Amino acid sequence: MIRLLIAAALSVSVSLFGTRLLIDFLTRNRVGQPIREDGPEGHAVKAGTPTMGGIAILAGAFVGYIGADITNVFGIGPTAVFTRTGLIVMGTILATGIVGFLDDWIKISRERNLGLNKRAKIVGLVTVAVSFAVATMAFTTTQTNLAFTRWDSIGLDLGRVGWSIWAILLLLASANAVNLTDGLDGLASGAAILNFAGYTFIAFWAFRHSDNYQVAHALDLAVISVSMMGGCVGFLWWNAAPAQIFMGDTGSLAIGAGLAALALTTNTHFLLPIMGMLFVAETVSVILQVFVFRTQNGRRLFRMAPIHHHFELAGWPETRVIIRFWLLSGLTTGVGVGLFYWDAINQGIGA
């Protein structure tokens, strides 16, 4: 438990103060976010707001993870060793953040709302996803079963190749889902805090009952999850409406990849879309909007997609949309964690 507390404290502190420094630096250098011309009219005032705040989230998460493992040098906490699973998951988060950073940098350097072209962005994300899948299969003992609350909860073994394909698809879907959700001040970061809190509990529970869950290096995964949560908390202090900085693709892609990597390594694949139902709903709204537009002669299902813009154009203040979506995210996270705990009690685990 002390490792989790140390990781949380370090990640919040680094992210909180790091974001402030980042705001000052980006403001001095006039590095701001371009705003899409077809977006809600009220968003025009956000043009020029510093972006790439995801750098602070990732810095906080990295320091939290590393710091929690080396504090024993100073006589604080138990001796800890970095694990293969933990390093792979953290490496995946950072690598996805680099892809997002490149996308953000092109946007601000060319002063447009388009960064990497679709092909380059997909290639970057696929490269990271494939690397994660290959490394996980080669260097860890992660189960290859399709999973809900435990590795054997469904009973379908995908095999190494099948699991790798599934992992790539889940990671890509999750990264893009969070990216689509990041359109209002604090919406994605607030929802991510709740999801990472849920995965901190799940991973720590799996660590405490390792014989039942067979999660490789579960404690290290809990440390990563709480570090990402802390990074988002520190960032949200400055990202809450009216935002003084945006996370950009640097943060949103990394957050999505982190959630998927945690779901895959804790063997809770199908808990992810339940806990992250907000991200799912945002993505589905875009898919439905495009489908209806192309098949119904330009008719629109929503006033604008993703769906948070629909409610804005319906007259909801931005803060109302954000807070209500946070509440929904909290409810779905609670449902996911509740299902996980219900299954544990039903199996006599921890009773």
| Count of beta carbons in the 10 Å neighbourhood of residue 196 | 26
| Cα angle 288, 289, 290; round to 5 | 90
Range 260-281 average pLDDT: 97
Residue 12 in any domain: the answer is yes
pLDDT score at 108: 78
Task: Return d(Cα 209, Cα 179) in angstroms, integer.
Answer: 34
Task: Return d(Cα 233, Cα 214) in angstroms, integer.
Answer: 30
pLDDT score at 232: 98
Q: Which residue has the higher pLDDT, 232 or 110?
A: 232
Confidence of residue 106 (pLDDT cuts 50, 70, 90): confident
The model's pTM: 0.93
Q: Is the peptide bond before 242 cis (omega within 30 degrees of 0)?
A: yes
pLDDT of 80 over the 80 cut? no
Are 124 and 116 in contact, with CB atoms under 8 Å apart?
A: yes
Residue 107 in any domain: the answer is yes
pLDDT of 151 over the 70 cut? yes
Residue (of 259, 115, 263, 243) closest to 187 by Cα position? 243
pLDDT of 103 over the 60 cut? yes
**Amino acid of residue 274:** I
Secondary structure class of 163 (helix, strand, coil): helix
pLDDT of 116 over the 80 cut? no
pLDDT of 85 over the 60 cut? yes
Confidence of residue 238 (pLDDT cuts 50, 70, 90): very high
For 120-126, the CB contacts below 8 A with 24+ separation are 124/99, 125/96, 125/99, 125/171, 125/172, 125/175, 125/176, 125/253, 126/168, 126/172
Task: Return d(Cα 330, Cα 224) in angstroms, integer.
Answer: 20
Element (H, E) at 203: helix 187-208
Residue 351 in any domain: the answer is no
Residue 168 in any domain: the answer is yes
Residue 266 in any domain: the answer is yes
pLDDT of 105 over the 80 cut? yes
Residue 244 in any domain: the answer is yes
Ramachandran region, residue 350 (left: φ > 0; alpha: ψ -120 to 50; beta: rest): left
| Count of beta carbons in the 10 Å neighbourhood of residue 199 | 31
Task: Return d(Cα 240, Cα 334) in angstroms, integer.
Answer: 23
Range 122-132 average pLDDT: 97
HSE-CB of 282 using CA atoms within 13 angstroms: 28
Confidence of residue 125 (pLDDT cuts 50, 70, 90): very high
DSSP sequence for 89-142: HHHHHHHHHHHHHHHHHHHHHTTSS--S-HHHHHHHHHHHHHHHHHHHHHHS--
Residue ranges of alpha helices (H) inside the chain are 2-28, 54-70, 84-109, 118-139, 159-181, 187-208, 210-213, 218-239, 248-265, 272-275, 277-295, 307-313, 318-346
Q: Which residue has the higher pLDDT, 48 or 300?
A: 300
HSE-CB of 112 using CA atoms within 13 angstroms: 7
| Cα angle 46, 52, 56; round to 5 | 120
**Amino acid of residue 93:** I
Residue 257 in any domain: the answer is yes
Tokens of 271: 């808990």
pLDDT score at 196: 98
Confidence of residue 45 (pLDDT cuts 50, 70, 90): low
Give the N- to C-terminal CA distance of the chain in Å, as an integer: 20
Q: What is the largest distance, in Å, between two alpha-carbon atoms of the chain?
A: 68
Range 50-79 average pLDDT: 80
Are 35 and 114 in contact, with CB atoms under 8 Å apart?
A: no
pLDDT score at 298: 84
Element (H, E) at 157: strand 156-157
Confidence of residue 336 (pLDDT cuts 50, 70, 90): very high
Q: Can you tell me which residue has the tokens 């979506």?
A: 325
Instruction: Encode pLDDT of 88-100 as tens digits.
Output: 999 999 999 999 9
pLDDT of 230 over the 80 cut? yes
Range 131-159 average pLDDT: 95
| Count of beta carbons in the 10 Å neighbourhood of residue 94 | 17
Instruction: Encode pLDDT of 13-34 as tens digits.
Output: 999 999 999 999 988 887 766 6
Task: Return d(Cα 195, Cα 25) in angstroms, integer.
Answer: 30
Confidence of residue 73 (pLDDT cuts 50, 70, 90): very low
Range of the domain at 166: 2-346
Confidence of residue 251 (pLDDT cuts 50, 70, 90): very high
Confidence of residue 68 (pLDDT cuts 50, 70, 90): confident
Instruction: Encode pLDDT of 157-185 as tens digits.
Output: 999 999 999 999 999 999 999 999 998 99
Number of domains in the chain: 1
Residue (of 107, 96, 117) closest to 50 by Cα position? 107
pLDDT score at 28: 87
Q: Share the mean pLDDT of the chain.
A: 91
Range 271-297 average pLDDT: 95
Confidence of residue 107 (pLDDT cuts 50, 70, 90): confident
